Structure 1
Amino acid sequence: MSEALTSRLGWAIGAVVLLGLPFYLERFWLQAGLFAMAAAIGAIGLNLLTGSAGQLSLGHAFFLAVGAYGYCVLAADPDTTTGLTGWGLPPVLAAVLAVLLAGVAGGLFSPIAGRVMGPYLGIATLALIFIGQHVLLNAHDLTGGFNGRAVPPMSVPGFTFDETPTLVAGVPFGSMEKLWYLGLALLAGGALFARGVLRGRPGRAINAIRDHHTAAGVMGVPLTRLRAAVFVLSSMYAGLAGVLLALAFQHTVPGYFGIALSLEYLAMIIIGGLGTVSGAVIGAAFVTLIPQVLTKYSESLPLVAAPGTGGIAPGEASRYLYGTAVVAAVLFLPGGLARLPLPRWARRRTRDNAPTPAPVARTKPATTTSQNMEIPT
């Protein structure tokens, strides 16, 4: 079996497994998977900016908040009892507009992102977190203040992603089961689009900016405009992740969209692998699912216990684990988990399938002696 056919078969099996999981997993794991999908979409966007363009951003959580709260405001109906604002738009249109709103927010910041580089951009984007937290906590009519606001369910004509059970092959599908397939579709679309960008001319230009921006400028790459465009694209990915995250949480709170969330996204792309779509997905699954697993099995794990019982809380243990993973990735695996070395059997197969170079005919080198040398006159 050829390597290409083996790869396609592996992808097909993985797709079938992912499509069949809602028939067997309980709600806890489906929700954890949705969190991982949303994180993967946001990590792909940050990897385009940081891993491919070499631009550090600490404000990624701000654009997630724009997407999440933008969807809530646009899709919800006005509530006179609580005073919350709502536009009552169709949820699909509200989701699209929320992603565009995140892109507009990134566009407003893009003049800075196009001219500021490296850690200076990281410090500049850090200001977005403080501004965002102030707005989220004080704009009660839009955000609900400290307590947040409920998330309207996603719906398309004739179908709603709510808790009303829908029987599929005898299995009742609630909101998590329905959102699972929406999350898969969004993640697949986002990954394919980012892969196309990186493999085309824009991707080569972006990598040139990261590797040597001076040489890229001499070659005619529009540095400022391209950096700004990547920042806007990254913001839109974050907005889409925020919409899916809000649908999975079913309630938004300002405290979630803080600096800790931005640092977690940096950990995702470092652990998974900078500059690769697969690395963003792997890193997001690693960082997102570890706290869920530790929380689920805290009673049976050594040194890990529920908060307030004397042991290490699951959240603290998860931070220790992926903090250690970041250090290990930087020291021993710079390419991240996506570039783990192949096992011995895979290396042997790759070597055996490599084309054999054509033999090169050897000729006896000509020798020159002093007797047959002629001195030009």
Structure 2
Amino acid sequence: MSERLLGRLRGRPARIVLLAVLLCLPPFYLDAFWLRIGLFSMAAAIGAVGLSLLSGTAGQLSLGHAFFLAIGAYGYSCLASDPGPGLPPVLAACCAVLLAGAAGGLFSPVAGRVKGMYLGIATLALVFLGHHVLLTWDSVTGGFNGRSVPPLTLGGFTFAASDPELVVLGVPFGAEERLWYLGLALFAFTWFTAGGLLRGRPGRALAALRDSETAAAVMGVDVARHRSAAFVVSSMYAGLAGVLLALAFRRVVPDYFSLALSIDYLAMIVIGGLGSVAGATAGAVFVTALPLLMTRYADQLPLVTAPGSAEGSVGPTEAARYLYGAAIVLVLLYAPDGLHGLARRARVRLGRHRPPSADRKPAASASATSAASSSSSSSSSSPSQPAAAAARSKEHTP
């Protein structure tokens, strides 16, 4: 048992290193379209992990995730712009994330005292309020047309296409190639911090709070404080996702941060599996990549027309929403734990049908040897028992 445990511990870092190497290869082999899908999926995964902590682990319904994404995106764009504070881009990104957390902290008293559908309606007001502010505050947000996003610069390296052109192993690195590795770093940071949070005492407290508030309070969990903290952490993850989205889009507009975006994030965590980091990632990739792929291959898909076609036809975006709406219904009916639960059950079934490993063979042979020795001993003792009985009968015969 100890050898197998050590083998698993040695194998997990190897799998992580192999996965990291594989994720570093796409910029050398894929074109800009697939890299943009990956960037949008990584940004969506960061935001979905934050919402999964709030709704899946803490059991708090939120429809205002798009509001905190907008704070992160517009916060970075305003703070890093020259007609403005003109902060260094890295500092502007950190301040934008903190600004989103501060907005979540201002709303946290409501989140600490309201739950369920009532909290969902309260957060819904944030989306409409934020959208109105983005449209009317022209001097800061740029109004309906939005505003451009300054590129991120780190140590003299710019995450955008710039002169002189960067060439790595014969591959020209433009904005998508450079932002790919930034997105990987931010996603890895999100994955490990959220996983550590779920495995630690805060995660156990939030899970107890989700299952039963009364039982959690009896165990010493401060219900209002943990609810508020979950809302702040979720808002900061959303702000980080907004910063990465702004860098990927290169321009932010108010219409993107609407109620539909909040619904998309709820679909991500439901399809992927509530309370799971891996499930939120899988759901984010599915919901984000599906409309982009359907837009590219619209002329090859039945019942789907290219964008800008005649009225009454189904566009790729609408068709994608229909598909993942149907996916939500199927998940709720047949797999309430989402894609993550399906993958876990598949691993269990594969483990059951796996042939016996090499480390089990010596044990089996040892048990067979012991069984053979016991059977031989019993067979050798069986003739002596009737002989002893016959001798005793002769002694008692007159």
Instruction: Look up the match of 1:98.
Output: 96
Percent identity, aligned pairs only, is: 61
| Residues 1:342 and 2:346 aligned together | yes
CA shift for structure 1 position 349: 3.2
Instruction: Look up the match of 2:58.
Output: 53
Q: How does 1:219-368 map to 2 (within 5 A)?
A: 219-310=219-310, 311-340=313-342, 341-342=345-346, 344-349=349-354
Instruction: Look up the match of 2:175.
Output: 175
Q: Distance in 1 between matches of 2:329 and 2:8?
A: 33
Corresponding letter in the other structure for 1:57: S
Q: Distance in 1 between matches of 2:53 and 2:249?
A: 26
Give runs of ≥4 in structure 1 deviating > 4 Å: 1-10, 350-356
Q: Distance in 2 between matches of 1:197 and 1:104?
A: 20
The one of 128, 134, 137 equivalent to 1:136 is 134
Instruction: Look up the match of 1:40.
Output: 45
Write out per-residue CA displacement over residues 269-316 of structure 1, whole angstroms, 9 at most, x where no aligned residue: 000000010011000000000011101111111111113435420001
Structure 1 residues 50 and 354 mapped into 2: Cα distance closer, same or farther (>3 Å)? farther
Corresponding letter in the other structure for 1:346: G
Q: Distance in 2 between matches of 1:266 and 1:327?
A: 13
Q: Distance in 2 between matches of 1:281 and 1:116?
A: 28
Instruction: Look up the match of 2:385.
Output: none
Higher helix share: 2
Q: Distance in 2 between matches of 1:106 and 1:326?
A: 28
Q: Distance in 2 between matches of 1:350 and 1:321?
A: 38
Corresponding letter in the other structure for 2:338: G
CA shift for structure 1 position 220: 1.1
Instruction: Look up the match of 1:22.
Output: 27
Structure 1 residues 353 and 280 mapped into 2: Cα distance closer, same or farther (>3 Å)? farther
CA shift for structure 1 position 195: 0.4
Instruction: Look up the match of 1:363.
Output: none
The one of 71, 94, 97 equivalent to 1:66 is 71
Q: Distance in 1 between matches of 2:32 and 2:183?
A: 15
Structure 1 residues 201-210 or 295-304, which shifts more?
A: 295-304
Q: Distance in 2 between matches of 1:353 and 1:262?
A: 50
- Of the two, which has the highest radius of gyration? 2
Unaligned runs of 5+ in 2: 368-398
Unaligned runs of 5+ in 1: 79-85, 360-377
Structure 1 residues 339 and 9 mapped into 2: Cα distance closer, same or farther (>3 Å)? farther
Secondary structure of 1:342 counterpart: helix
Does the aligned pair in 1 maintain the 2:111–2:228 contact within 8 Å? Answer: yes
Q: Distance in 2 between matches of 1:305 and 1:5?
A: 50
Corresponding letter in the other structure for 2:81: A
Secondary structure of 1:172 counterpart: strand
Q: Distance in 2 between matches of 1:142 and 1:28?
A: 31
Corresponding letter in the other structure for 2:146: G
Structure 1 residues 135-144 or 307-316, which shifts more?
A: 307-316
Q: Distance in 2 between matches of 1:203 and 1:221?
A: 11
Q: Distance in 1 between matches of 2:337 and 2:15?
A: 23
Secondary structure of 1:167 counterpart: strand
Instruction: Look up the match of 2:371.
Output: none
Q: Give the TM-score, by structure 2 length.
A: 0.84
Secondary structure of 2:24 counterpart: helix
The one of 152, 160, 163 equivalent to 1:162 is 160
Secondary structure of 1:88 counterpart: coil
